[in-house]
Structure 1
């Protein structure tokens, strides 16, 4: 508060950036202090949000560790406590759809199929779950005999010109304790690996499928990148060409052609 020359008190300017008096909304300069205070209060009240809802909070009870958007305009969020939530992408914002208590331990991987119809999750609890995104339903629950890391859907129709008649969409699951990547027919609920890809010398931390080239790019804990075929027989390119990249999170990663 501060004193005016005529002895009346008026509020001091807000120090925290909150709405304060408006130069244009007050009483005439010659009015009394009480009039100026009243105008200040009315101006502040007029600037308060008056909508039914002016803040949105998309809540998880624990830290959110994974977020992805499918081609079918759904958003999936996963938190450290094993909770999975589906949201529908709307013209303005997103709307909650369904909540799953998916795992007993933190998520290791979360991946959507190229067409956006399937979602897979892996966890340190050795569980692998597959969800039908459009039906909001869990369609497979597989108990693995290894601790999974990241996962990625590969092959199938998404492999484009590189697909062959026997191509099908498989789930690539990294082994958290070895350099191996296991390929599973997860959508059918089959937990036995159909193929094992061995192109790394350290556990794989990232998998990405390129439908345009029918290839998978993988990165391991030593900072090495590899690319390999997403269709049978899988593994490194059959023409003998191989490109690896090694670095330590530097701005320019040196490449070597082996």
Structure 2
């Protein structure tokens, strides 16, 4: 796959995918005045690993991606790039391109693993141009920055097609404004315990981080706090 057929991307953020109750990793075109975005639904562990690297949050002990990065370095194997190159049946496909003794090899990978490794090896992340043309999220002229485009995405969540697994495609949602989904009116619903829900989400994220870092005493404390809060908020 030639360079002309690839688009270099940067990792913007990890955020919740509310409809599927799992995280999204957001990639953005590195160049361009109005960069397109590519959201991919991933697993909780992989999301935490990516988020830690984005925030320069060092674990107490190396996690699997840190270990793999160190092993590659010790074996003088370089990660040239990672490429998200295809989507079939709503599943994304990626590869890690490595080099050893001037020999290059492509390693099949999930996008989340490839991204987590690329961040730790300072390797470029590419998406096939044809793929980005197909499923990329185009910013509107009125959207001044990425956050505005992200807001539109979450307004459109009810129109997103059902992913088949945690590495699933999020469908192209560059729709005319007349087709935009309306934000649900919650005023007629039973009053939700929004503060408790916010606390629960925060505790769950802290628990994922604690387990990832093998901080088991802290994880046990957080698990107890989550159980207590869930009992409090359950009908």
Q: TM-score, normalised on structure 1? A: 0.25
| Higher radius of gyration, 1 or 2 | 1
Q: Which has the higher contact order (CA 8 A, sep 6+)?
A: 2
Higher strand proportion, which one?
A: 1
Higher helix proportion, which one?
A: 2
